[in-house]
Amino acid sequence: MKTKVNVPELAKMIDHSLLHPAMTDEKLKKECEIAVKYGVASVCIKPYAVRLAKSLLKATNVKVGTVVGFPHGNSPVETKIFETEQVCREGAEEVDMVVNIGKVLSRDWEYVRSEIGEMVAVTHSNGAILKVIFENDFLPEDEFKIQLCRICSDLGVDFVKTSTGFGFIKGPDGKYAYNGATDHDLKLMRKYSAPDVQVKAAGGIRTLDDLLRVRLLGVTRVGATATAAILEEAKKRLEQ
């Protein structure tokens, strides 16, 4: 991997994340303008907004990505497939799908493999790519993540992804928080995924140093809301 990188290359590592429940259409339009300004890889938006984002981003090189079974992965497989077909018809080029976390924790690997396999088939048949979100904060033991990486590799998933950014765990003080993309998990996912399966870090990538650090761990895409701040800092530091 190159140790030196330029700002456009860093921009193409970013999925500009627009998934907050309170995101309005007006805010979405402004954030799509930011995505175009900086030339990021994609916007990652709520499913209902795919058609709007597609119209806003036409004639640009910013792709439209969205989420399925988000944020907790609890939908039946048939519902995830229906969602995927719908968003692909409306213009989504990238789909970030949350696994059925309960089934993973139950070690029902037959179910997990079948669900991911069906999602690979429907995304690829529609010309889209699939990113499988593990939600690592809910997976206390590495064996779960390792097995998911192996299944995703076997099935030809395009990306494995750490988190939704909304996987909050209740702490001893009763407050909810999440770790998101940890270095430990990123190293683990890169190690146990096939070479052609890329790794996406999401949750906690807020600064240029965060982005550069995970890049050195083998990450090729990140989900970020602080896109403008990250890339403005990159311009200051890398273009001097």
Residues with catalytic function: 96, 161, 200
CA 168 to chain centroid, in Å, comes to 17
Instruction: Give burial (CB, 10 Å; 0-12/13-18/19+) of 25.
Output: exposed
- Give CA separation, 132 vs 28, 119, 124, 162, in Å: 24, 9, 13, 9
Could you identify the residue written with the tokens 């099935």?
155
Q: CA dihedral in degrees (65, 200, 223, 90; nearest 10)?
A: 0
Q: What is the DSSP letter of 62?
A: P
Which regions of 24-62 does DSSP assign to beta strands (E)?
42-45
User: Tokens in use for 152?
Assistant: 């995703």
